[in-house]
Amino acid sequence: MKRIVPLLLIVPFILTDCAFWKTTTLSPKRFAFVPSGSKPGQVTVKTDEYGLEDLTIGVSVSMKRICLADNEAHRVQIMRPNGDVELMIGSLKNVKTGDIPSENFSFGTIGYVIMDDDDNVYIQNKLSRMRGAGRENYGGNDAIDVSPSYIVKFSKSGELQYTLGQKGTPETPFSHIERLFIDSNDRLFVISRSIDSWSVFRFNGKNRDYHVNLGTLNLQEREDGNVYEGKIDNVRVFSSGDKLLISVSYYHGLRLKYIKIFEFPVKEGRIARNIMTIPDPKNVLFDIIDDKYIYLWNVSNDQVKFEVANLDGSIVNNVYLNIEDKRNYYSRIILDDAGRIYSYNILKSGVDILRWE
């Protein structure tokens, strides 16, 4: 799955002093709106007098489609931005699907939903649900949900292909899944974590062809007689599938000293080099785009900023999102598989999906 970074985000603004770079401010353009309701093309927004009763809606943008997880209605919908539904999977009781391809399936709790180049759909199916998980605003990590999960794969017509667990066969479930990712060779990566460790699994079809437990890495550093303990806080996959990007926070006791971002080649199975050291704890790894550019995101009050760095660790651009102060129940920033920035806002009337240009 090829990822191409939008050029406006990386082209430097040429000045007489090359230390200055272009600052890009992006504004939102509505990509789609999914109204609240129970019919095809709608989503269940369940509220009480305090707001959302629970976070039961998930959105991703993959292959120019909207992947909508509705855990109140217990189904997944694959939609076009104009609202046309291309596929429904899950509970279809009392739902008039008409000519929409659909498949009954009993989900526990739906997690991540992504698509590959052949429009196959991969869905994280949690066996149980941990209520009260943390919620982030504009892009941070949720609190760890330790519900065991499997990955179920469906064809573009809704036919169940197979189920994946940690070893490929479904006997052993994954622990908390942090992310699903499909590389340019259509291999599925599952990034899983526990309280103390991170693991990465790669699947070629039904076969697991790679696994690494990152908890075995020695991340301790010594400087001026002090010992800094490293803790992994994020892992991302290069689109080629050949390397990982690992973000490690270093602590002296409880005090965060700095963050390092490492390159980890899959074949070598060890850290190859330190790409950059970040002294500002507010700048954290968001993603890597086109195997060339690292997005570091920073939320300060209502301002959202991305610093864009190359693989030499140099900052080449700053990107600001002109986020308006609106009363949404929930908001999150996401990237599609081409590296474009989106966000979605959950409102009482439905889900508003924005593309940032």
Residue 338, classed as helix, strand or coil, is coil
Lookup: tokens for 206: 């039904």
Q: Are the C-beta atoms of 32 and 83 separated by less than 8 Å?
A: yes
The pLDDT value recorded for residue 304 is: 86
The pLDDT value recorded for residue 267 is: 93
Neighbours of 9 (CB within 10 A): 22
Q: How far is CA 325 from the centre of its chain?
A: 24
Helix-then-strand count for the chain, H and E? 0, 29
What is the average pLDDT across 176-184? Answer: 94
Q: How far is CA 155 from the centre of its chain?
A: 22
Distances (CA, A) of 200 to 41, 74, 145, 311: 34, 28, 17, 22
Neighbours of 216 (CB within 10 A): 8
Lookup: tokens for 47: 């509220």
CA 122/CA 148 separation, integer angstroms: 16
CA 96/CA 98 separation, integer angstroms: 6
Lookup: tokens for 94: 């009392």
User: Mind giving me the DSSP string for 161-220?
Assistant: EEEE-TBSBTTS-BSEEEEEEE-TT--EEEEEE-SS-EEEEEEETTEEEEEEEGGGS---
Which residues lie closer than 8 Å to 101 by C-beta, 6 or more apart?
86, 87, 88, 156, 157, 158
The pLDDT value recorded for residue 223 is: 84
Q: Are the C-beta atoms of 108 and 94 separated by less than 8 Å?
A: no
The pLDDT value recorded for residue 16 is: 32
Domain boundaries, the chain: 7-356
Q: Tens digits of per-residue pLDDT, 322-357?
A: 887 677 899 999 999 888 999 999 999 999 999 999
Lookup: tokens for 125: 């199916």
CA 315/CA 307 separation, integer angstroms: 7
Name the pLDDT band for 302 (thresholds 50, 70, 90). low
The pLDDT value recorded for residue 3 is: 52
Q: Tens digits of per-residue pLDDT, 132-159?
A: 333 333 344 445 566 789 999 999 999 9
Of the CA atoms within 13 Å of residue 36, those in its CB half-sphere come to 13
Residue 9, classed as helix, strand or coil, is helix
Q: Which class is domain 7-356?
A: mainly beta
CA 143/CA 132 separation, integer angstroms: 9
CA 250/CA 257 separation, integer angstroms: 6
What's the pTM?
0.89
Please check the confidence at residue 130 and state whether its pLDDT lies above 70: no
Q: Are the C-beta atoms of 206 and 162 separated by less than 8 Å?
A: yes
Residue 8, classed as helix, strand or coil, is helix
Name the pLDDT band for 282 (thresholds 50, 70, 90). confident
Q: Tens digits of per-residue pLDDT, 227-253?
A: 899 999 999 999 999 999 999 999 988
Neighbours of 133 (CB within 10 A): 15
